[in-house]
Amino acid sequence: MSEPTKQIPTRRSFLQQTGGLVAASTLVGGSVPRVHAGEDNTIRIALVGCGGRGTGAAANALRVRSGPIKLVAMADVFEDRQAISHRSLATQFVKQVEVPEDQKFIGFDAYKRAMDCLGPGDVVIFATPPAFRWLHFTYAIEKGLNVFMEKPVTIDGPTSKRMFALAKKSQQRGMKVAVGLMCRHCKARQALAEKIHNGDLGDILSLRAYRMAGPTGSAAVPPRPQGTNELEWQIRHFHGFLWASGGAVSDFLIHNIDEGCWAKGDWPVQAIASGGRHYRGDNIDQNFDTYSIEYTFGDGTKLHVGGRTIPGCNNDFATYVHGTKGAAIFSSAGHVPAKSRIYKGQTFDKSDLAWAYPDPEPNPYQVEWDDLIDAIRADQPYHEVERGVKASLVTSMGRMAAHTGQLITYEQMLNCEHEFAPQLDSLSFDGPPPVVAENGKYPIPLPGLVADREYDV
């Protein structure tokens, strides 16, 4: 691996130092598509993880208008998903998708081969199941590439410690790294956060966050069909397995939890929680159907978080802040638009409206990419990994509290030795997955019975 303290050259600085395109081509050899005259400022993208979120992230990257951007490589463990993703992107961005057949990589080592197609100043997108984040980031640091990684960035204590260390290495190398907590780039939420931190709500009394919906993503996993590879089934339904994603809490509730922490301007020190499995039918995943988490900050302020994936119930997808001078709706319509506003009282009555962010709101999914690419082109510091790890760890803290029935502190979560997928770097469809079914069923959390880890193996 390259020395972690060595600053990587950006495409801009490298070309300034060498004075030409030929030198850039020499540096990266034949591993990247040939750069044509007049395109020396093109940023190249490699997509690692070609599912819906990865395809969406690539589309946002290709929509940035600050300079030329092209998709040049793709990697996934499933050829069918990669084909669907490529077809979608190539149809939308005819002139920007230049992925030849020999730069479409399949397999558990495909991420390396895709990143080998990039050079200084380029960007790799990590949108695989979160379990693979630290592994892929390690290679990106070795290559000195800029990174966009989807949330969550960690799912347990050991991987959180690993990512904190990797974050420091990437900063030392001068990499620009974005984390897909796109709500942090929402202009409406930013304006409201500034008002809250400036005292417009007075002292914060409490915060509430909810993601109450029906079945979401692949959180509910049906029985594996006979003859289907077990690891493949788990990865295709990664929201249902704690080793792959951290489950429904980590992958879905993290946005609202992060919003609450942002509004408070702090990270909680402990969590207590409850949850349960209700209408499971023949589903075999490891998730609860309901989660209720109470976070406590250092000054005693509470953040209450509710999650539910049961159809036919009242839905709510919002974050609220209550203070001594009034209350605020931090977000009220999912991720977009936020419809952020402040009220004089605590009841959110229209007659008490004191401030509202004006329509229209820029789409934060796009803004986060605009911000990243702007930082790359201007060679400005840009690093969201440490904050992303903290948001992921705090989310895991609430999840573990629910799954064990114990009070879990930030330090306990960070130092919990249960790593969900310790042999991640040697996974193969020919070998066993990190968790194996017995009689078609997987180990589930048993609050009060298994108290030191989230499931027994």
Domains of the chain, with CATH numbers? 11-183+367-383 (3.40.50.720), 186-362+393-426 (3.30.360.10)
Please tell me the predicted confidence (pLDDT) of residue 280. Answer: 86
**Helices assigned H by DSSP within 102-213:** 110-115, 133-143, 157-172, 187-197
Relative orientation angle of helices 254-264 and 187-197, to the nearest 10 degrees: 40
Please tell me the predicted confidence (pLDDT) of residue 22. Answer: 30
DSSP string across 368-412: HHHHHHHHHHHT---B-HHHHHHHHHHHHHHHHHHHH-S-EEHHH
In angstroms and rounded to an integer, the radius of gyration of the C-alpha atoms of the chain is 22
How many of the other CB atoms lie within 10 Å of CB of 34?
Answer: 7
**Nearest CA-CA partner of 329 in 310, 316, 315:** 316
Residue 57 pLDDT > 70, yes or no? yes
3-state DSSP call for residue 41?
coil
User: What is the arithmetic mean of pLDDT over 398-402?
Assistant: 98
Residue 377 bridge partners (DSSP): none
Please tell me the predicted confidence (pLDDT) of residue 34. Answer: 33
What's the token pair of residue 72? 């040049």
Can you tell me the distance from the alpha carbon of 267 to that of 271, in angstroms, rounded to the nearest whole number? Answer: 11
Kind and range of the H or E element at 87? Answer: helix 79-92
DSSP class of residue 12? H
What's the token pair of residue 401? 């509290």
Can you tell me the distance from the alpha carbon of 304 to that of 209, in angstroms, rounded to the nearest whole number? Answer: 6
User: What is the arithmetic mean of pLDDT over 348-370?
Assistant: 97
Please tell me the predicted confidence (pLDDT) of residue 279. Answer: 85
Distance of CA 432 to the CA centre of its chain: 26
Instruction: Give 215-264 pLDDT, tens digit per residue.
Output: 889 989 999 999 999 999 999 999 999 999 999 999 999 999 999 999 99
What's the token pair of residue 212? 């109450």
What's the token pair of residue 429? 């469809």
Can you tell me the distance from the alpha carbon of 300 to that of 408, in angstroms, rounded to the nearest whole number? Answer: 15
Intra-chain end-to-end CA distance of the chain, in Å: 34
What's the token pair of residue 127? 């949108």
Can you tell me the distance from the alpha carbon of 109 to that of 427, in angstroms, rounded to the nearest whole number? Answer: 10
- Main-chain phi, psi angles of 163, to 5 degrees: -70, -35
Distant-in-sequence, close-in-space partners of 102: CB < 8 Å, separation ≥ 6: none
For 208-245, b/e burial (b = at least 16 CB within 10 A) is bbbbbbeebbbbbbeebeeeeeebebbbbbbbbbbbbb
Residue 49 Cα distances to 78, 290, 402, angstroms: 9, 29, 30
What's the token pair of residue 26? 């020499």
Kind and range of the H or E element at 413? Answer: helix 410-415
How many of the other CB atoms lie within 10 Å of CB of 149?
Answer: 28
What's the token pair of residue 229? 């590879």
How many of the other CB atoms lie within 10 Å of CB of 344?
Answer: 14
Distant-in-sequence, close-in-space partners of 7: CB < 8 Å, separation ≥ 6: 172, 173, 174
Residue 12 pLDDT > 70, yes or no? no
Instruction: Give 110-121 pLDDT, tens digit per residue.
Output: 999 999 999 999
Instruction: Give 256-296 pLDDT, tens digit per residue.
Output: 999 999 999 999 999 999 999 998 889 999 999 999 999 99
Binned at pLDDT 50, 70 and 90, residue 213 comes out as: very high
User: What is the arithmetic mean of pLDDT over 83-97?
Assistant: 98
Can you tell me the distance from the alpha carbon of 83 to that of 96, in angstroms, rounded to the nearest whole number? Answer: 17
